A and B are shown apart, each in its own frame.
Chain A
């Protein structure tokens, strides 16, 4: 059974930092691109960042570029999101999700239950 378990969320002051983790099991983690997707309170889903299977390429939403870093440790089957210079607008539930692609179009086939990040003074 595929499992993705996020951790590391919490309350942080504006300008602060937080590192999220996602522990993966039940599939060959090192073969899949992985993503972070977030959902601000009362709003829809927003893609945040992705990394290919090897971790050598990463991609970011404009809203987090330069502040967030996605990385992975395939030996530990883990995905991370280092979040710096946090803003109130970053308040959201953060999900990690595995990516699957068919003829170029990609979707997220498995998701974790999410971890809540609250940025407030």
Chain B
């Protein structure tokens, strides 16, 4: 059971907009800690997509965006492409556990 809750799977058609949610609590996201997002393709290195809630590293397309509100965060992907089919993980810090925490991951399928 992950501290941060994500939907296990989602799907969308090419060109659509999808939003992956990440729900935490008052001891992590709600405490003001940043949320970061990673894209993972099995067999490859996870890739940082969003850091500090809303920031994109150099090279990440602006189709990817992050937001945060209260005890939840979201990763939005617009203009969905076949290459976006991957697993997405959120990450934050939990002050009660005093440890970095991850979501359980969301497998995105592009139809």
Q: Scoring A residues 89 to 121 as 1 if CB is less than 8 Å from chain B, else 0, what string do you get?
A: 000000101001010011111111110000000
Chain B residues whose CB sits within 8 angstroms of the CB of A112 once the complex forms: 45
Q: Determine if A111 and B34 form an interchain contact, defined as CB atoms under 8 angstroms apart.
A: no
| Candidates A4, A44, A102, A114; contact of B89 at CB < 8 Å | A44
B96 at the interface (CB under 8 A from A): no
CB-CB nearest in chain B for A95: B46
| Size category of the binding interface on chain B | 20 to 34
Q: Determine if A107 and B48 form an interchain contact, defined as CB atoms under 8 angstroms apart.
A: yes
Q: Beyond A45-B89, A102-B34, A109-B57, is A95–B51 a contact (Cβ under 8 Å)?
A: no
A79, B6: Cα distance in complex, Å: 31
Interface size on A, residues (CB 8 A): 21
Shortest beta-carbon distance, B37 to chain A, in Å? 9
CB-CB nearest in chain B for A99: B100
A114, B43: Cα distance in complex, Å: 8
Chain A residues whose CB sits within 8 angstroms of the CB of B105 once the complex forms: 44-45
A47 at the interface (CB under 8 A from B): yes
CB-CB nearest in chain A for B34: A105
A73 at the interface (CB under 8 A from B): no
A45, B99: Cα distance in complex, Å: 13
Question: Can you report 27 A-B residue pairs in the complex whose CB atoms are below 8 A from each other?
Answer: A44-B89, A44-B102, A45-B89, A45-B105, A46-B102, A47-B99, A95-B45, A95-B46, A100-B51, A105-B34, A105-B52, A105-B93, A107-B34, A107-B52, A108-B46, A108-B91, A109-B51, A109-B57, A110-B45, A111-B38, A111-B46, A111-B47, A111-B48, A113-B43, A113-B44, A113-B45, A114-B45
Which A positions have Cβ atoms within 8 angstroms of B? Answer: 4, 43-47, 61, 95, 97, 100, 102, 105-114
Known: A44-B103, A44-B104, A110-B48. 8 other contacts (CB 8 A): A44-B102, A44-B105, A45-B89, A106-B100, A108-B36, A108-B91, A110-B45, A113-B43
